Chain A
Amino acid sequence: MTTASADAHGHHGDHGHDHPEHLAHHFDTLEQQFDSCKLGMWAFLLTEVLFFSGLFVAYATLRANNPEIFSLAASFLDTKWGAINTVVLLVSSFTAAMSVRNAQLGETSKLKRNLLITLVCAGAFMCIKYVEYSHKYHVGLLPPGMEHSMFNPETPYIPHGDHTGEYLELQAHTADMTPAERVHTMTTLGRFFGVYFFLTGLHGVHVLIGMGVIGWVLMRANRGEFGPDNFTAVDLVALYWHLVDLVWIFLFPLLYLIH
């Protein structure tokens, strides 16, 4: 089914010589083409590791020098949502790995189903992130540069109404501190939330991009493009998705589970 359907839209059909359907002209064999794509993707993935590492190092230096403040900061994150999101991403990683298998075996309907589940899980992850972010916005737990942040060093935002819980906790916690201690605590908490939003935000952007490319692969799967000799796109998108999962595997315990 794969070779026949690819003719319908591919421009390979009119080559008129003996040439595998999905082989680009600048490659000698399908295997060489596949290996080149994989190498390129792995090169990209390792740059992604390095890309995220800057923020992880910022996190590590802050935490190493202020362990007690990080433990206080983590108490403002909801472990329940973090754990649910971890499971959601793990399931989506599983369905991404399953879709590679489906593409390799030419099981198009299963492939479409697994890609769709992956996409839905990614959407669920972002919805939960939205719930968490909007709560932090309302109570003022934002990076210190933001106007609506209670850690803003110029004009700290003071939450009111139903959103004072975290603020009152901090007020009580810092009440008996010396001025220098209190300034240090509030400043460092602000930096924690800076690192928190940049790390989870950069990760969230990766999830959104992942949803885009998974959607694109799903559209191609709908056209019946993938099969045993043409599953590279599914394979590479799954690799990317696994990396997004890998980053979260470290983010969850490092941000949510600090004593």
Chain B
Amino acid sequence: MTEHAHDSHDDHHGLGHVLPVKLLAGVLGALIFLTLLTVLTGTTYLYGFDLAVALLIATTKATLVCVIFMHLKWDKGFHAFAFIGSVLFVGVFLAYTLTDTKQYQDQIRDYAADTAIDSPFAQPLPDPPADHHHAAGEEHAAGEEHAEGDEDNH
């Protein structure tokens, strides 16, 4: 089979499809470009479209990985069908759960407000204990208000 080794454009080489290096490198370049783009868009104010833009870029990257790196373009259609099917079912899972959880937010907030007084966070967060940089004794006479959780001083 060695003579085939130099034939990178052979579409039906043995069992699978051999991808040309240029295509793979091009996809890598596009993926890195889209990563930089998403960092840029993710750190600027986009008038409430941040999540939509971030998801659009991520979906474009995922599509490139699936179609090229994972050979779906040249693979059996059934594999793409099954994989896209799983993503659609995640969409169903997400949509139903989101609409459902929206129904209960008021009750959850009411319950949380009623029980808030039992939480240590009902009080303003206490100041951190003064720390004398690994001094031997943790029981220093700083006179700070020590809150619960202080027994975990290590």
Contact = CB atoms under 8 A, between A and B. Distances in A.
Is this pair of chains taken from one and the same complex? Answer: yes
Given A106-B1, A157-B152, A49 B86 contact: yes
Given A49-B86, A90-B32, A170-B125, 11 more contacts: A1-B2, A2-B1, A47-B86, A56-B90, A57-B94, A64-B102, A100-B16, A104-B16, A229-B15, A253-B57, A258-B51
A57 B45 CA distance: 25
A253 B14 contact: no
Interface SS majority for chain A:
helix
Given A105-B5, A183-B121, A257-B42, A158 B128 contact: yes
A154 B89 CA distance: 38
Contacts of B58: 249-250, 252-254
B137 to A, nearest CB: 14
A97 B24 contact: yes
Contacts, number: 236
A229 B87 CA distance: 32
Interface in B57-101: 57-58, 61-62, 65-66, 68-71, 75-76, 78-79, 82-83, 85-87, 89-90, 93-94, 97-98, 101
B112 A161 contact: no
B21 to A, nearest CB: 7
Interface string A215-259: 000000000000111011001001100100110011011101111
Interface residues of A, number: 86
A97 B28 CA distance: 10
B153 A160 contact: yes
A101 B24 contact: yes
B25 A156 contact: no
Interface in A41-61: 42-43, 45-47, 49-50, 53, 56-57, 60-61
Interface stretch (A5-13, A121-129, A173-181): A173-181
Given A94-B25, A174-B124, A179-B123, A107 B5 contact: yes
B50 A259 contact: yes
A228 B1 contact: yes
A19 interface: no
Interface stretch (A32-40, A193-201, A202-210): A32-40
Contacts of A242: 65-66, 69-70
A116 interface: no
Given A42-B79, A93-B65, A97-B19, A106 B5 contact: yes
Nearest to B97: A57
Contacts of A120: none
